[in-house]
Amino acid sequence: AQTVTQSQPEMSVQEAETVTLSCTYDTSESDYYLFWYKQPPSRQMILVIRQEAYKQQNATENRFSVNFQKAAKSFSLKISDSQLGDAAMYFCAYRSAAPGTYKYIFGTGTRLKVLA
Amino acid sequence: DAMVIQNPRYQVTQFGKPVTLSCSQTLNHNVMYWYQQKSSQAPKLLFHYYDKDFNNEADTPDNFQSRRPNTSFCFLDIRSPGLGDAAMYLCATSRAGTGSGNQPQHFGDGTRLSIL
């Protein structure tokens, strides 16, 4: 069975600085998808960024980028120019590409605090 | 805008009194999920539907049931809520099918359930 591990329960970053959130996963599959979700306090969980395992190029979305290391089974999220609105819980998630698989496996989350 | 809508946002019930939470979607997604999320923890999958096919997680208590009468609606029934069932309940949807594996889940705002 696949597992997702986020080893940082909490991180802090100064406004305008850069922070990296870690995520590792365990799988025997070669084809899968990885996601980072953001959950602000008392608000909806939303997608931040996604990565297909078959793509070597790291995904980027504006200030958000990932460092995908397939061999190391690592999928970290880098937030550049941090803003107060980035404060939230961040969850890393895995989804198998096997046909008929619809489950997303979540890590335990990292709470990000942004300091003014 | 297409979205996932959960009602109510806050639900209070008495110990042992049945309660139903509802979820609707305008995304026309074929997969719907129910998660339980306790404070600062990862969402825990209770069950999901692929169209009308119901998939229960092995560790979901029998106290939790679900119904999906059509594509747009899904309900979570808690037959005899205990104090340990107080949590945020999240509904999510995703699109399944060929080429859709990298599609993320879309979440509702959640229903916070309190047990008196």
Query: Which is it for the CA torsion B103, A8, B88, A79, positive or negative?
Result: negative
Chain B: give the shortest CA distance to residue A5, in Å: 11
A104 chain-B contacts, CB cut-off 8 A: 45, 94, 105
Q: What is the pLDDT of residue B14?
A: 95
- For A10-61, how does the pLDDT look when each residue is reduced to its tens digit (9 = 90+)? 999 999 999 999 999 999 999 999 999 999 987 899 999 999 999 888 999 9
Contact B83, B12 (CB under 8 A): no
Q: Is the peptide bond before B8 cis (omega within 30 degrees of 0)?
A: yes
Across the interface, whether the CB atoms of B31 and A33 are under 8 A apart is answered no
* pLDDT attached to residue B113: 97
Alpha-carbon gap, residue B31 to B102, rounded angstroms: 14
CB pair distance less than 8 Å for B90 and A45? yes
pLDDT at residue number A43? 84
Asked if residue A48 lies in contact with residue A38, where contact means CB atoms within 8 angstroms, the answer is yes
More confident residue, A42 or B90: B90
pLDDT band at B30 (very low <50, low <70, confident <90, very high): very high
